[in-house]
Chains A and B, each alone.
Chain A
Amino acid sequence: MARASGIPDLAAVERAEIRLSGFGGQGILLAGYILGEAATLFSKRNVVMAQSYGPESRGGASQVELILAASEISYPRIESPDVVVTLSQQAYASYGLSRPHGCLLLADSDLVSIDRTVEEGQVTVLAPLTRWAEERLGKRITANIVMLAYLCDLTGLVEASELERAVARSAPRGSEELNRRAVEIGIEEAQTYLASLDGDRP
């Protein structure tokens, strides 16, 4: 199943493999945790999350792998990702370039310049995720939540209400409203993007 423009429909697939990557401090691990919690607690799927560990998570490259499945997940590593998110150039070089055919790349358009030749025929979505967080919410650090909401709306990974609940569980006291808005903006922007694709159709 595919949505507009080859974006994979991950709402009801037996198994979905997701890699989120960037650099330490962007909230990549937290985003993975929130997505995993939403799928575990609210959409009742099996989820396993494995994170990179060590100095990498404190400034260098940072990445987290999630597998969402209806059945038992024995081997906990991603074999063929359905989605790769890259919020840094280094992450794109490490994980974006080598992704399999049909795998969605979601990249921050201000932080990543893609290789046009490699992306030819691939499913690529570029969005100024961090800029939206900065300009529309005044908080750059909410970019991870904007990204998550954008990704979930594009692919149907988890439903908006499920994501909202999981985000609320992880939001530090006093930041609930800010994080709720970040989800809203991510969804809004994804809707705008999907509508633009519909408009392109003959």
Chain B
Amino acid sequence: MGKSPALSGVHFMLGDVAVAEGAIAAGCTFFGGYPITPSTEVAERMALRLPQIGGIFMQMEDELASIAAVLGASWGGRKSMTATSGPGFSLMMESIGLAVMTETPAVICNVQRGAPSTGLPTLVAQGDMMQARWGSHGHYQIIALVPWSPQECFDLTVRAFNLAERYRTPVLIMADAEVAHLTERVVIPPAGEIEIWPRKRPTLPPGPGALDLDETLVAPMPAAGEGYRLMVESLTHDDRGYPDTTATTHRQLVQRLNDKIYRDRFALYDQVERVIDDAEVVVVSYGISARISARAVEIARARGIKAGLLRLRTVWPFPEERIGELSKRLAGFVVAELNLGQVSREVERVAVDGCSVATCGNAGGDILHPKEILEAIIAVDQGLAPSRSSKLARV
């Protein structure tokens, strides 16, 4: 092994750049993309850095080609990624499903901006959270991580690559235009201290049993050209990858694709809780909105309101057990997000009757103000927000 390409040290770094550096530190050597605001600096940084370390930066003609190139590079044996924003994310949806079905590790960073359509190119939103969960057709599990700072842009990108390799699945980084364009301290640890999970490779030579599943439900992955005769097939297929479009094989395959992730959800959950123990109102939030929620909770506490913060760093899979358990003893939740209520639907789904769930959000264009979240906290605290059983009051 040569010298690690990780830029170990303390930096004053842009969020987008930290995503790129996280990828480099995780061993990414292929980026295929079509630059789009507000994710452009990820591509720009990768275009600078990848050639320095023997990697490949490939600007494609559009996002359809970008994601296809990323999946191809992954089957060529490289850790690979792309970065985009809403319009490109929509175009990538079909091939994200292809990655799920063909069990292809890949990292897709979506720096969210105002939408639908081309919407607000330079301004923030968090409106793609449900698209992240369900945007491709079929029933599947997805892993989606959300950074709240440039430091987490680095940390969670490393984690995204690790999870993509471990579960052989696409992993999404659902950043937002605000966090991606903040510049802050980013500490990149010494290379030896950055945990890297390698791809599960075949240990047997090509032949029977070499690519068999084990109890992890994830089979070893060979690279193209290594002599393993494996079909990489988007149709329903058997364990060798051969098309077998029968109900029995289909149910087994889709069940396993779901199980390999959902079964392991407790290892994937990643939330940071603040002053939750005695809280009566808990703000559930993520990304930039969680930073503002932290401030709102501080102000609420200073006023004697027992508020807490549950910040999601993994949004998908959604920590339903923890939220459900909290709902039993809380007056309610405030879900702060830059959309009109997406993750709040999940909170509503798992909260028990009688626990109110208020959405504090807007359609994007600017970040929330702490005062707005504070008002929502006060409303829930005083029992003025709709309880779960009357949630139809919401948009």
Residues of A bordering B, CB below 8 Å = 33, 36-37, 40-41, 46-51, 53-54, 72, 74-77
Is A74 a contact of B295 with CB atoms below 8 Å? Answer: yes
Q: Which of B10, B122, B182 contacts A76 (CB 8 A)?
A: B182
CB distance from A36 to the nearest CB of B (A): 5
Is A74 a contact of B292 with CB atoms below 8 Å? Answer: yes
Residue pairs across A and B with Cβ atoms less than 8 A apart, 23 shown, are A33-B12, A33-B183, A37-B12, A40-B12, A40-B184, A40-B185, A46-B185, A48-B183, A49-B12, A49-B182, A49-B184, A50-B181, A50-B182, A51-B183, A53-B37, A53-B122, A54-B37, A54-B122, A74-B291, A74-B294, A74-B295, A76-B291, A76-B367
Q: Residues of B contacting A54 with CB < 8 Å?
A: 37, 121-122
CB distance from A109 to the nearest CB of B (A): 30
Q: Which of B12, B122, B292, B294 contacts A41 (CB 8 A)?
A: B12
- Does B38 make an interface contact (CB < 8 A)? yes
Is A36 a contact of B291 with CB atoms below 8 Å? Answer: no
Q: Residues of B contacting A37 with CB < 8 Å?
A: 12
Q: Residues of B contacting A74 with CB < 8 Å?
A: 291-292, 294-295, 298
Q: Residues of A contacting B386 with CB < 8 Å?
A: none
Q: Residues of B contacting A49 with CB < 8 Å?
A: 12, 182-184
How many B residues, CB 8 Å from partner? 21
Number of A-B pairs whose CB atoms are under 8 Å? Answer: 54
Residues of B bordering A, CB below 8 Å = 10, 12, 37-38, 121-122, 177-178, 181-185, 288, 291-292, 294-295, 298, 367, 370
Is A41 a contact of B181 with CB atoms below 8 Å? Answer: no
Q: Residues of A contacting B178 with CB < 8 Å?
A: 50, 76
Supposing A33-B12, A40-B10, A54-B122 touch, asked if A47 and B184 sit within 8 A by C-beta, the answer is yes
CB distance from A16 to the nearest CB of B (A): 16
CB distance from B237 to the nearest CB of A (A): 45
What residue of chain B has the Cβ atom nearest to residue A38's Cβ?
B12
Q: Residues of A contacting B185 with CB < 8 Å?
A: 40, 46-47
What residue of chain B has the Cβ atom nearest to residue A35's Cβ?
B12
CB distance from A9 to the nearest CB of B (A): 24
What residue of chain B has the Cβ atom nearest to residue A32's Cβ?
B183
